[in-house]
Structure 1
Amino acid sequence: MDYFIVVITSVAGLYFHWWLYVRIKRWGDRDLALSLAGDSPAKRSYMLERLREAQAAGIKRNALPAWLEQAAAQYCED
C-alpha cells in the first residue's frame, strides 16, 4: 500500500508540473503577441488570431517571435 501512495503522489506531481509548464509557455506566447500589438484593441485581436494560426501551423517556439514580428509588420489599420 505504501508503494501505491508513493506512485500516485509522484504521478500527480509530475502531471501538475507538466500542466504548469504548458500553461506558462502559453501565457508567455500570448504576452509576446499582445506586446507586439500595443494598445490597439483591433491589433490585439489580430495578433491573437495570428498566434492561433502559428500554433496550428506548427511554428517552432524559437521561430515564433520572428514570425509574430513579421505578422505585426503586415498589419494594416483600417
Structure 2
Amino acid sequence: MDYFIVVVTTLAGLYFHWWLYVRIRRWMDRDLALSFAGTDEHKKAYMLECLNNARAQKIKRSELAAWLEREAAAFPVD
C-alpha cells in the first residue's frame, strides 16, 4: 500500500509540473505576440490570431519571435 501512495503522489506531481510548464510556455508566447502589438487593440487581436496560426502551422519556438515580427510588420496601417 505504501508503494501505491508513493507512485500516485509522484505521478500527480509530475503531471502538475508538466501542466505548469505548458501553461507558462503559452503565457510567454502570448506575451511575446502582444509585445509586438503595442497599445493598438486591433493589432492585439491580429497578433493573437497570428499566434494561433503559428501553432496550427507548428512553427518552432526558436523561430516564433522572428515569425511574429514579420507578421506584425505585415499588419495593415490605417
TM-score between both structures, scaled by the size of structure 2: 0.98
> Counterpart of 2:60?
60
The question of 1:33 aligning with 2:33 is answered yes
Q: After TM superposition, give the deviation of residue 75 of structure 1 in Å.
A: 0.3
Q: Which amino acid aligns with 1:77?
A: V
RMSD of aligned Cα (Å): 0.5
Structure 1 unaligned residues grouped into runs of 5+: none
- Residue correspondences, number: 78
Post-superposition Cα deviations, 1:28-59, rounded to whole Å, max 9, x if no partner, equal 00000000000000000000000000000000
Of all paired residues, the percent bearing the same amino acid is 65
Write out the 4+ residue segments of structure 1 that deviate beyond 2 Å after TM superposition: none
Structure 2 unaligned residues grouped into runs of 5+: none
TM-score between both structures, scaled by the size of structure 1: 0.98
